[in-house]
Amino acid sequence: MLAQQLVNGLVLGATYALFALGLTLMFGVLRVINLTYGFYFSVGALVALWLARSVGLPIWAVVLLGGVAAGLVAVVVDGVLLTRLRRTKAGELPSLMVTLGAVLALYSLSAIWLGTEIQRFPFDFVDSSAFEIGDLRISLVQILIVCVTFALVGLLFVLLHYTRVGLMIRALAENEDTARLMGINVDAIVIVVSFVSGLLGGVGGVLIGLNFNAIQPFMGETMMLRGFAVIIIGGLGDIRGALIAGVLLGMFEVLTASYISSSAKEAVAFGALVLTLWFRPTGLFGRKEVKRA
């Protein structure tokens, strides 16, 4: 039934949007293609799983702390891998290669440590009750996912546009040298941006984990490809674009899975990516860059 698919698609798309938002923030401000970003998604979900199972924390705390843990991991990874490259203005290829190597190592270490079997939240952890409107079922978890996503998107918007830190972040995104001339401590802002984007990716991981109740270390890997699809379709560095493209991608995937075949899902995502790049290389919603006079 279509309405149900649209709801499921919206929920999935919301998590895609959240994940892509962190990626587009990281890319837009720090100007690096950081392939370890997908790993933060896994970290969020794995930490949430551990907190739910071993510590017995409630769901809201698990979502929050999973995100915070992923944010901290992001700060450490960026600091260790990329600070030196940034100082020497090494360019994009070295950072791409370094983060590619690092993310493969991180995935395989966590697979050795935690195994690759799919793990689930404790029975009863996820409240399975739902609202029913006719045939339409909207579960509490789905509502939680959408609410968390919109809350974080709203907070990100406020951070970027209504705070001093946000002003500094946007300045850094536009012109690093000039940002320094304004007295901005770029290293400190880089830490803030890494944390926020890691947090968004990590919360995305927790939410997907809750949505499918299936968690394993490699879950960030396929997500990373979707993240790229979303931010390219939405326009690199464009927050609004990532949001719309994420939701659309989730909806298309769900609709494809239910009306065509679930193995056609990926074809849809990456078909959309290729078509976008073909016809609108700056993304569907990409504004034209404001030109300097």
Partner 1 sequence: MSDFLSVSGLRLSYGRTEAVKGIDLEVRQGAVVCLIGANGAGKTTTMRGLSGLLKTAAGSIRFCGEDITNAPAHKIARMGIRQVPEGRQVFAEMTVDENLSLGGLQVGDSADFRRRREAVLDRFPRLRERLTQHAGYLSGGEQQMLALGRALMGGPKLLLLDEPSMGLAPLFVEEIFKIVADLRQDGTTILLVEQNAQAALEIADHAYVLESGRITLEGPAAEVVNDPRVIAAYLGDH
How far apart CA 230 and CA 243 sit, in angstroms, is 8
Using CA atoms, how far apart are residues 89 and 212, in angstroms rounded to an integer? Answer: 41
Q: Is 134 a binder of partner 1 (CB under 8 A)? A: no
Torsion of CA 95, 13, 259, 139, to 10 degrees: 140
The amino acid at 164: R
| Residue span binding partner 1 (CB under 8 A) among the ranges 51-59, 148-156, 161-169, 273-281 | 161-169
186 touching partner 1, by CB under 8 A: yes
CB 184, min distance to partner 1, A: 6
- Which residue type, as a one-letter code, is found at position 129? S
- Contacts of 272-277 spanning 24+ positions with Cβ under 8 A: 272/229, 272/233, 273/228, 273/229, 273/232, 273/233, 276/232, 276/233, 277/232
Stretch that binds partner 1, among 30-38, 55-63, 160-168, 247-255 (CB under 8 A): 160-168
Does 178 bind partner 1 (CB under 8 A)? Our answer is: yes
* Contact status: 171 vs partner 1 (CB under 8 A): yes
Span of 74-82, 168-176, 206-214, 240-248 interacting with partner 1 by CB under 8 A: 168-176
Figure out which of the listed residues 184, 191, 236, 264 binds partner 1, where binding follows CB under 8 A. 184
170 binds partner 1 (CB under 8 A): yes
Cα separation, 4 vs 134, in Å, equals: 11
Number of H helices, E strands in the chain: 11, 2
Minimum distance of partner 1 from residue 29's CB (angstroms): 13
Stretch that binds partner 1, among 48-56, 151-159, 170-178, 214-222 (CB under 8 A): 170-178
Closest to partner 1 by CB, 140 or 167: 167
What size, in residues, is the chain? 293
Asked whether position 61 contacts partner 1 by CB under 8 A, the answer is no
DSSP code of 119? B
Give min distance, CB of 89 to partner 1, in A. Answer: 11
Task: By CB under 8 A, tell whether 83 contacts partner 1.
Answer: no
CB of 173 to partner 1, least distance (A): 8
What's the rounded Cα separation, in Å, for the pair 165 and 90?
26
Q: Of the two residues 87 and 129, which places its CB atom closer to partner 1 in the complex?
A: 87
C-beta of 6 vs 184, nearer to partner 1: 184
CA distance 176 to 30: 9
Interaction of residue 168 with partner 1, rule CB under 8 A: yes
Paired with 130 in beta bridges are 139
In Å, the largest CA–CA distance within the chain is: 61
Closest listed residue to residue 221, CA positions, set 10, 63, 19: 19
Residue 187 CB, shortest distance to partner 1, in Å, is 9
What's the CA gap between 146 and 15, in Å, rounded?
Answer: 8
Pick from 83, 163, 175, 261: which binds partner 1 (CB under 8 A)? 175
182 binds partner 1 (CB under 8 A): yes
- In the bound state with partner 1, the residue whose beta carbon lies nearer, of 31 and 170, is 170
- Nearest to 188, CA basis, from 199, 180, 178: 180
Element (DSSP H or E) covering residue 136: strand 136-139
Write out the residues near partner 1 by the rule CB under 8 A: 164, 167-168, 170-171, 174-175, 177-186, 290-293
